[in-house]
Chains A and B, each alone.
Chain A
Amino acid sequence: MRARLALLVLCLAAAGAGAQDAKKEIEKYQQMIADSSPVELFELQGESLWTKRQGPKNASLEQCDLGLGAGVLKGAYAQLPRWFADTDRVMDLEARLLHCMQTLQGRSLEDATKYVFGTEDRPSEMEYLSAYIAAQSRGAPMNPGHAQTKELAAYELGRKLFFYRAGPWDFSCASCHGEEGKRIRMQELPVLSSPASARPVVATWPAYRVSNSQFKTIQWRMNDCYRQMRMPEPNYASEATIALITYLTVTGKGEPYRGPGTKR
């Protein structure tokens, strides 16, 4: 109750003082917490998981091909999602990791997807791995696949899904992320269909979420948005989620990657 009163007072004060001041102060907050982010700890743990022998084949992920060759991590995240010849489909980082867990380590799909979204007390393997692998693309311009036939099809499907209204609230991604000036409580919502707004977003996911002390991957973000829209949650690394991630990443392409990020 007190918190809501405080928030109301704050909103009124902000309206009076100007929403711009509030925005600047929030940016200052974000800068200050970014400096103290535990993202490094996730990267370190991800590195040890990358080299850890697991599964029936007792193999590590070190031979996993993320698009630049077996085991090549530098710049790999920045060129995802993309089409892969060996599976003949477009895959994002997490889909590709799932693939390697199955083919290299012999793990079943069920086993590898059993615990993909962690908690603050116990992050998931995917979260650690995403942090580590994304970090290896720092500085690289985001350059997802956008030329091959299936890559173009994924982009188109993603774009359709972005604007597709459904569910009990008749929401689409665009309901929140399709128009300038929208916000949820004190958080401004980026217009993800516009390159200018999509670029910084795409360059800072996956990210550590300070509000729940968890490292979140982009597959989680897709899943949670659907949950927020009161729609059935998509399957992990499904065609739909990969299509959406493709659409978003292509819209934000060119931006030098500066993640993994630290967000509220």
Chain B
Amino acid sequence: MKIRATLKGDLAEVRVLMVHPMETGQRKDVSGNLVPMHFIQEVQVRVNGKLALEGQISQGVSRNPVFSFRLKGAKAGDKLEIAWLDNRGERSQAETAIA
């Protein structure tokens, strides 16, 4: 996961790049077998430990999801944490300081 959070006044523009196949379960691999569903279902964005945004997404979101969010009242140095949970129970988390 790569997070970029830049401050413009008190508004933070956040862009997060996630690595995930987001398989729909309808794609066939090279051997002709269906690749099973595997996608991120929940995304959470926390600022200084407090939940700011929650997303529920489906396999309709593109592979290697990229999201942009905007946070208000943000300050330089604020801790930004982004976590995801997928349909297999796998999870990932990353954090950065708002610059």
Contacts and interface: CB of A to CB of B under 8 A. Distances in A.
Interface of A: 36-38, 40-41, 44, 120-121, 213
A36 B69 CA distance: 13
A1 B68 CA distance: 35
A40 B64 contact: no
Contacts of B21: 121
Nearest to B64: A38
A29 to B, nearest CB: 13
B11 interface: no
Contact of B17 (A38, A121, A213): A38
Contacts, number: 20
B84 to A, nearest CB: 15
A132 to B, nearest CB: 14
Given A40-B17, A44-B2, 11 more contacts: A36-B15, A36-B66, A37-B66, A38-B17, A40-B2, A41-B2, A41-B17, A120-B63, A121-B21, A213-B63, A213-B64
Determine which residue in B15, B64, B68 has the highest number of CB atoms from chain A within 10 A of its CB, and name it: B64
Nearest to B18: A38
Contacts of A121: 21
Interface in B55-80: 63-64, 66, 68
Determine which residue in A36, A37, A40 has the highest number of CB atoms from chain B within 10 A of its CB, and name it: A36
Contacts of A41: 2, 17, 19, 64
Contacts of B2: 40-41, 44
A37 B64 CA distance: 9
A168 B18 CA distance: 44
7 smallest A-B Cβ distances: which pairs?
A: A36-B66, A38-B64, A213-B63, A38-B17, A40-B2, A41-B2, A41-B17
Contacts of A44: 2
A109 B42 CA distance: 45
Nearest to A44: B2
A44 B19 CA distance: 13
A38 B4 CA distance: 12
A37 B15 CA distance: 11
Nearest to A38: B64
6 contacts: A36-B66, A37-B66, A40-B2, A40-B17, A41-B64, A120-B63
Contact of B66 (A38, A120, A213): A38
Interface in B9-51: 15, 17, 19, 21
A213 B65 CA distance: 11
Nearest to A213: B63
B38 to A, nearest CB: 12
